[in-house]
Amino acid sequence: MLLVLLGVGGYAFRDELASGVEVVRDRFATPQQIHPTAVRASSEDPAHPAALAVDGTTDRYWAPARPGNGIGEFLEMDFPGPFRLLDLVVHPGISPNAEQFLTQARPQRLTVTLTGSDGKVTTRTVNPADAPGEQRFHLAVGGVVRIRLTIDGAYGAAPDRRVAVAEVEFFERP
């Protein structure tokens, strides 16, 4: 009788059990970097194209075509196939050097739109600190094939400044 109850309970809560297994696997995994196969932006300053946000360096950056707060501007990346995204790393601003970092606007809030291979869309919000350097956000979303980062707020925005993103990195569960 106990086995029957356990079986019925396991079946009834199978989705929750599967989710719990994913959490445990994520926790003990060593994330590996994955690189996009394509990158585009809603707009780009000709001197600071979207490709610079995924070029592996933090001293070159993407910036939208128009100066200002950048709200609604986005970067979008495609990946070679579905993967489980564990972490997103954002390097805000134009440089890891503090003096240079403050010369342009930086993202304050980003909407992360993750599209799965099945077309399902998952949305998260991340809030980078107004500080240079790597900022890691744990997202843990499976089946990802496309990621869009939309600017929803900016630090240091001004009519003569552009919101800058030096680098974005993506880490998957192997």
**CB of 173 within 8 A of CB of 31?**
yes
Q: What percent of the chain has pLDDT over 70?
A: 84
Residues 63 and 12 in one domain: no
**Over the stretch 71-83, which tens digit does the pLDDT of each residue have?**
999 999 999 999 9
Residues 23 and 85 in one domain: no
Residues 110 and 159 in one domain: yes
The whole-model pTM stands at: 0.86
In which band, very low, low, confident or very high, does the pLDDT at 29 lie, cut at 50, 70 and 90? confident
Count: domains in the chain: 2
Q: What is the dihedral of CA 39, 43, 45, 50, to 10 degrees?
A: -10
Residues 75 and 39 in one domain: yes
Residues 4 and 51 in one domain: no
Domain holding 110, by residue range, is 33-172
